[in-house]
Amino acid sequence: MTTADETSAATTRRRIIKSGVVAGVGVGAAAVVASPASAAAGDPVIMGAVTNDAGTAETVLVGGSSASPTLALNPPAGRPALQIMPVFDQDVPAELPTGSLAYTHEGDLVIGGKAGTKQYVSTSRWANRTVAIQPKRILDTRALPSSTIYDQYIAAGRSSVDSTGRLRANSFIHLSLSNLSVASTGRAVGVYVNLTVAGTVSAGVLSAYPASTSGRPSTSSLNWWGPNQILSNLVEVQLSPLDGRNYCFTIWVNAATSVIVDVSGLIMSNPGTY
């Protein structure tokens, strides 16, 4: 309905939103209950009204053009432009009219997608993005006896590397991506690393895992079966804080070997910054 059609005494005492088409409020979009701007069945949206309740009906504003927005909200500083009151996910029907919008107590944003199907909008609550980056070597233990080039990526455990450039048996080294700007701006939660062992002494196992893990997991990321081998494997590792440094993970070996670590991708919770 158009605002021009509204002639009731109530509308003369309240400011009416005078532009365009908005999603209907009612069963079609059960969670779209804007506060304080909402509308009763058949009434216009009235600013400041606290008794508007559409019930099971819809209120539609008709108008707008390519040069003028359908609905423009200009809230005061410190206030949201639109507040959608949450409902429980189980109360949002599986079939929603396309264009409907809901927000759940579980923290999900739900839309009526194509053909009226219930769809979840990707948010950082449960969705991340994998981003390939220019490969970066952050560790080569063979260089540590004579170079500090990789020290910026070592959070702890440098002393676990012996004079031959091997990570000692049953020891670990903690690595951090905090000096990779793309990891911090994208708030990385995981990393793809190519792990290589070289100059092995005997059969062994390498495990990569979050640095904050309590107790080493009984898993392997790379295995080798004898001396003088060069093997590699691409693995995904969760990142965690460690002693004040962010974006850390741990490398552990049960047999002495040189270890090379190359970063090739990140899992980001804020991918729009990259």
pLDDT score at 24: 36
The pLDDT tens digits for 125-169 are 666 788 899 999 999 999 999 999 999 999 999 999 999 999 999
Distance (Å, whole) CA 20 – CA 31: 20
Residue 210 carries which DSSP code? E
Which range among 4-8, 94-98, 167-171 shows the weakest confidence by mean pLDDT?
A: 4-8
Over its C-alpha atoms, the chain yields an Rg (Å, rounded) of 29
pLDDT score at 118: 87
pLDDT score at 12: 32
pLDDT score at 226: 97
pLDDT score at 124: 61
pTM more than 0.75: no
The arithmetic mean of pLDDT across residues 76-105, rounded, is 86
3-state secondary structure of 180: coil
Distances (CA, A) of 146 to 142, 151, 162, 164, 198: 9, 12, 11, 10, 18
| 195 contacts 233 by C-beta, under 8 angstroms | yes
**Over 50: is that where the pLDDT of 96 sits?**
yes
3-state secondary structure of 153: helix
Residue located via tokens 């707008």: 64
**Residue type at 15?**
R
The pLDDT tens digits for 196-222 are 999 999 999 999 999 998 888 999 999
pLDDT score at 26: 36
The arithmetic mean of pLDDT across residues 186-192, rounded, is 89
pLDDT score at 125: 60
The pLDDT tens digits for 46-59 are 555 556 566 666 66
Q: How many other β-carbons are positioned within 10 Å of the β-carbon of residue 101?
A: 17
The pLDDT tens digits for 102-118 are 888 888 888 988 888 88
| CB neighbour list of residue 262: distance below 8 Å, 6 or more residues apart | 135, 136, 137, 138, 193, 194, 196
